[in-house]
Amino acid sequence: EDRQRLDDQRAVVRDAIGDPAAFEKCSARHRLRFLDKLLRTQRFKRAQTYELQSMGIVLGDALAEALDLKWAIVEDHHGRDPALLLPGTTVLLFPLTMISKRLEDNQMVDIVALFTAVLDQFEAIRAEAV
């Protein structure tokens, strides 16, 4: 059920880009260019939380690939959410809302800058955690 949720959200992004075959063929990190295009063309509006969070899942895939993280489901009193786990630690990263919250706060989102900033921050956290 949780895997299906992630796959369904990836499909939202794949279908929105208009070239599903290209999306499927490229690496997770290269899918950032599709996220960039969706953001630049404002394909999804601020109120489209599910769609924006779907973009967060695709961003999470790129982060997982770059940082060797694994998807996990975290459950708390608010519900169940996907997170990225640094294996062998309790360090979690929640990419689901990284895009949606910024847009809801009327912030511009530069997906490459966001990706790079998270990489840098996470590498620092990893160095302290391991």
What tens digit of pLDDT does each residue of 33-47 get? 999 999 999 999 999
What pLDDT, on the 0 to 100 scale, is given for residue 76? Answer: 87
Give the mean pLDDT of 8-30.
93
Higher pLDDT, 36 or 122: 36
Give the mean pLDDT of 42-64.
96
Reply yes or no on whether the pLDDT at 126 is more than 80: no
Query: Per mean pLDDT, which range of 1-5, 10-14, 111-115 is the poorest?
Result: 1-5
**Burial, 36: exposed, middle or buried (Cβ in 10 Å; 0-12, 13-18, 19+)?**
middle
What pLDDT, on the 0 to 100 scale, is given for residue 130? Answer: 61
Helices of type H across the chain:
2-16, 20-25, 32-40, 49-67, 100-104, 111-129
Q: What is the mean pLDDT of the chain?
A: 93
What pLDDT, on the 0 to 100 scale, is given for residue 96? Answer: 96
Which residues 6+ apart lie within 8 Å of 43 measured at CB?
Answer: 16, 37
Reply yes or no on whether the pLDDT at 25 is more than 90: yes
What pLDDT, on the 0 to 100 scale, is given for residue 127? Answer: 81
What pLDDT, on the 0 to 100 scale, is given for residue 128? Answer: 81
What pLDDT, on the 0 to 100 scale, is given for residue 78? Answer: 85
What pLDDT, on the 0 to 100 scale, is given for residue 39? Answer: 96
Give the mean pLDDT of 74-85.
92
Report the distance separating Cα 99 and Cα 20, nearest Å. Answer: 21
